[in-house]
Amino acid sequence: MKFKVHHNIIFLIIITCLIALMIHPSIFQWANRIEPWILGIPFSAFWLILLNFCICGTFIVWYYTDTVKGNIDIDIEQATEEELNELLGRGGRK
């Protein structure tokens, strides 16, 4: 049996890993230092900014993948009064 992982899960895992690199106690303990200075800022700040930009890049690829997979131009029809009554216990509030 072939197991297919939804691309949303893959991107969420990538972003979770990137966030883990910034907040996991052991990794953060390593990154939480002044040396080496990179681009005029301490390593601790550089580490956070770099990984946050990586997250921004992941968002762009995620959006592009959504476009390719047809998950962007989705639309839905509005529910009828009966459906609103059935699911929310209300018709249109007139």
Binding site for other proteins (CB under 8 A): 8, 11-12, 15-16, 19, 22-26, 28-29, 32-34, 37, 40-42, 44-45, 48-49, 52-53, 55-56, 59-60, 62-63, 66, 70-79, 83-84, 86-90, 92-94
The C-alpha angle 7, 8, 13, rounded to 5 degrees, equals 95
Quote the CA–CA distance of 33 and 36 in Å, as a whole number. Answer: 8
Quote the CA–CA distance of 10 and 4 in Å, as a whole number. Answer: 11
Output the furthest CA–CA distance in the chain (Å, rounded): 65
Q: Which of 5/56 has CB closer to other proteins?
A: 56
Query: CB 73 → other proteins: shortest distance, Å?
Result: 4
Query: CB 3 → other proteins: shortest distance, Å?
Result: 17
